Chains A and B, each alone.
Chain A
Amino acid sequence: MIRTNRRKLALTSAVLAVVAMTASSLPAQAASDPGVTSTSIKLGITVPMTGIAAPGYNKIPGAMKAYFDYVNANGGVNGRKITLVIKDDQYIPTTAVAKANELILKDKVFALVGTLGTASTKAISASTQLAKRGIPSLFVNTGFSGFADKKAYPTTFSILPSYQMEAKIMGKFLKDKYDGKKLALIYQDDDFGRDALAGFKQAGVSFTTAIPYASGSQSLPATGAGWISKLKAAGTEVTVLFGVSSASTAALANAYAAGYKTQWVLGSVGGDATTIAASNKAYVPLLFGAKGFSFAPAPSDSADEYVKLFQSIYASAQPTQTFDNNVVAGMSNAFLAVQAIKAAGSNLTRAGLIKTIETKGASLANPFLTPLGYSATSHIGATGYWIGTYDQTGALKPDGGKYTVYTTDSGNGPVVESSYKRPAMPAKGLPN
């Protein structure tokens, strides 16, 4: 009797699962690409909205949506209004894949945009078979160099320069400016940091002290103090931080506590002053005099036409949030996406969009200060950085008062000063 009841329940639950699966059978798909009608386009993004990686990054979707809404209010793109479906993946690859599947199979988005995190993007790409389905994955927020490989990722377009490229440019800067000084490096002990090591090696930089840290350990009480103790003992004069923001904060705060003075050089990932400020306002002055790298216009640069536009759009869309690097990054992504969609024409297809970015992507108007590398053979986005110094308020100001951009390639090519002039912003910041 007992066994029958148990079996009954097991059977019932199994049947329920089966019924649930059946209940969502859908009719055959329409012939045109999903996610696009004559009046609308649906885009999707998976990003950590909650979870350890969330602070800072979870502002990106809101920023993107603010720009899309602005475009929609001004007639949309070729008469189509853009909706952005936002899914929280908590920076976990399995969740990212599940959410991406929902976006692709349930929400039926036209394209993915701005996916964040190397492991998550790799997993999504491989598992949902973006390549086979021909789904564009636009402007992924990760510096993994592999995404530039068009053969492996034919529908993916990166936007950030790879970490290796960044390290190469940083390396040239270090050799030019701090030749003969004792250099130290604090880096995250995983592919992110090791990519950087490769770049530094290519640039021919050697560090007196190299301190790797296990990802996550920067949040433990003694870690930062340990770094500073080592640096003090080695007597280093210039310290490069190639880690995440929490690591930069730990280094800066502990240096301050130990009375240790050095010239800080911050990588782009961990140099986000506003993320550091979000962690503690008292640390922002610690950034004063530190060097930083970026390829977008500085958020504090109100003279820049794009920044001015973005500031006003964001202020009315999200009045309670601060305008920072993440917002600029998000809105720039959205801007570029809209330009690409406009250029792809009224007959919008996935294949067409990909082709458009490959042929015209490098010449589309966009807020970035470096040339974009999109072509038939390359899916690399930004190719360089400008160097600046942080002021007392934590704002990064370009050295020499103007943006001098250095570019390089993802191979063994040299770092060169770029003569790129950013095209003027289209009227009112709307697609042209």
Chain B
Amino acid sequence: MTQFIDMLLIGIGAGSIYALMAIAMVLVWRSTRVINFAQAGMALLSTYIGFELVQRTGNFWIALPLAMILGALFSALVEILLIRTLIKHSTTGPVAGIVPIIATLGLLGFIRATIGFIWGNQDIQIQPPLSKVGFKIGEDTIALSPMNLLVLLTVIGMVLILGFIFQKTSLGLSLRASAYSPEIAQLAGIRVGAIRTIGWAIAGAAGAAAGLLQTVNGTGAVSPDSLEFSLLLTFGFIAAVIGGLESLPGAVLGAVVLGLVLAVVQIYVSGTLVFIVAFALLLLVLLIRPQGFIGAKAGRRA
């Protein structure tokens, strides 16, 4: 029985990490309609900035929001310099699909090399602000720690705040409109360019939070080529797809489902099957219900 409870907690804990990334990806998708590899790069850079801030202020709780703000600014800068030029110079057609991906890939490489140049290619470490030791229930330590709780609460907080912005504010409406149909939004008087920049800024902040929290919740170590970040990108994407790329609560649900399924495989079947199962799950969802569990049918095609 304890193993079952353990498995649930482990699955939800992992799911909350995937959810952080998934939220950032859904954000980028909903406000800009671009798959952004640079998102991972900017999350990485924000994590390093967070590291510097923790070093200088000694306080994680100051470093986190500051890193998010800086992440937002940097993300907006990327949008202005890179994405706008891209859109200006490219045409429609197949190029429009693949060129932004390649450009953001190039940006990822650029960020990685810059980080390596400034901070070196060895791991740097960020100490977690809360304990990672599980809570004790009587004699047993369960698989839930204060750090896990922090991540969970952050995920819930992000979903609530961002959901509010998207659904209940005019900014959110402008964001959704600009992403869905830029020409019509422009006709309606929305300054599409500025709105898109704001969308990227929000995504940058979310990515910064995802990067920092995921790092301190894991081993606390990060390097320019961290495997963790690459894996998070993929698994965050799988989680987002399972839940539906259009919906924030969906992203969280998808992440939890993914986390639980993998925990079951890990504990009751065999740890060697994780990647295969994740991929199979992705394929299954795409074949049976491509819009995800929560997404609306209209949102599937780009």
Contacts and interface: CB of A to CB of B under 8 A. Distances in A.
* Direct contact, A vs B (beta carbon within 8 Å): yes
20 contacts: A51-B225, A55-B223, A189-B272, A214-B271, A214-B272, A217-B271, A221-B18, A226-B266, A229-B7, A233-B2, A246-B219, A249-B221, A250-B219, A253-B219, A256-B132, A257-B132, A258-B141, A280-B220, A282-B127, A283-B219
A256 B133 contact: yes
A219 B123 contact: no
A216 B10 CA distance: 18
Nearest to B3: A233
A190 to B, nearest CB: 9
- Report whether over half of chain B's contact residues are helix, strand or loop; otherwise say mixed: helix
A220 B219 CA distance: 10
A257 B133 contact: yes
Nearest to A233: B3
Contact of B275 (A216, A233, A256): A216
A145 interface: no
Contacts of B218: 219, 221
A225 interface: yes
Given A220-B14, A260-B141, 8 more contacts: A54-B225, A55-B223, A222-B262, A226-B263, A250-B219, A253-B219, A259-B133, A280-B127
A223 B235 CA distance: 14
A147 interface: no
Nearest to A53: B225
Most B-side CB within 10 Å, residue of A56, A189, A221, A257:
A221
List 6 tightest A-B contacts by C-beta distance, closest first: A222-B14, A279-B221, A259-B141, A226-B266, A221-B14, A280-B220
A58 B141 CA distance: 39
B11 interface: yes
B123 A213 contact: no
Contacts of A230: 3, 267
Nearest to B132: A257
Given A50-B225, A212-B270, A258 B134 contact: yes
Contacts of A49: 121
Contacts of B116: 50
A222 B231 contact: no
B281 to A, nearest CB: 14
A213 B121 contact: no
Nearest to B271: A213
A56 B120 CA distance: 12
B122 interface: yes
Contact of B122 (A51, A222, A278): A278
Contacts of B275: 214, 216-217
A221 B217 contact: yes
B143 A216 contact: no
A205 B185 CA distance: 70
Interface in A99-120: none
Contact of B266 (A223, A257, A258, A280): A223
B243 interface: no
Given A212-B271, A222-B14, A259 B223 contact: no
A58 B121 contact: yes
B13 interface: yes
Interface in B225-268: 225-228, 231, 235, 259, 262-263, 266-267
Interface in A283-323: 283
Contacts of A227: 271
Contacts of B134: 257-259
B273 interface: yes
Nearest to B143: A225
A260 to B, nearest CB: 8
Contacts of A181: none
A278 B123 CA distance: 6
A222 B214 CA distance: 12
Given A52-B227, A256-B133, A259-B141, A217 B274 contact: yes
A338 B116 CA distance: 32
B290 interface: no
Most A-side CB within 10 Å, residue of B122, B127, B263:
B122
B224 interface: yes
Given A220-B14, A279-B221, A280-B221, A55 B228 contact: no
Contacts of A232: 2-3, 6
A281 B128 CA distance: 12
A304 to B, nearest CB: 25
Interface string B264-301: 00110011111100000000000000000000000000
Interface string B6-24: 1100110110011000000
Contacts of A52: 225-227
A283 B218 CA distance: 12
Nearest to B125: A280
B221 to A, nearest CB: 4
Contact of B267 (A189, A220, A226, A278): A226
A55 B143 contact: no
A225 B17 CA distance: 14
A365 interface: no
B267 A50 contact: no
A131 interface: no
Given A189-B272, A233-B2, A225 B10 contact: yes
Given A211-B271, A214-B274, A220-B274, A258 B143 contact: yes
A226 B10 contact: yes
B274 A223 contact: yes
A222 B10 contact: yes
Nearest to B11: A222
Interface string A42-82: 00000001111011101000000000000000000000000
Contacts of A246: 219, 227
A311 B107 CA distance: 40
A58 B259 CA distance: 34
A298 B38 CA distance: 42
